[in-house]
Amino acid sequence: MTWKLAIVAALALQAPKAEMTRVPQFENDRAVSWKSVIPPHTESTLHRHDRYRTVIGIVGGNLTTVTADGHKTVTRYETGKAYWQEPMRPGEMHKDVNETDRTLELMVVELKN
């Protein structure tokens, strides 16, 4: 019986780790759009948003943002609801963390000017 557990454990360690993905939707001279697929227990790298954007919950849920200094904010994205977000303050950065057991899908439309 223990050898079966060892095989299952070894296979689990070899399974690829889920990652956030960005699926391009469109881009033109005025805007760029993508769908973010955010699997459970994944996180992005530190980044920033310099443009105005709309985020639409395709498959909603809670998404935690963590600033470079560790401050956490949880945003509840409701399925089918749109959210307006302003550019981040100069020098500010964050990472997105899905601390839940559900995959989130968010459509983003970001203005270029």
pLDDT tens, 66-79? 999 999 999 999 99
pLDDT tens, 16-53? 678 999 999 999 999 999 999 999 999 999 999 999 99
- Give the pLDDT score at 12: 58
- Give the pLDDT score at 6: 64
* Sheet-wide strand order for 53-59: 21-27, 31-38, 104-111, 53-59, 82-85
Average pLDDT of the chain is: 92
Share of the chain above pLDDT 70, in %: 87
Q: How far apart are CA 80 and CA 21, in angstroms?
A: 20
Domain 20-111, CATH 2.60.220.30 — does that match? no
Structure tokens at 99: 């601390």
What pTM, to 2 d.p., does this model score?
A: 0.83
End-to-end CA distance of the chain: 62
Spatial contact of 40 and 61, defined as CB atoms under 8 Å apart:
no
State the average pLDDT over residues 4-24. 73
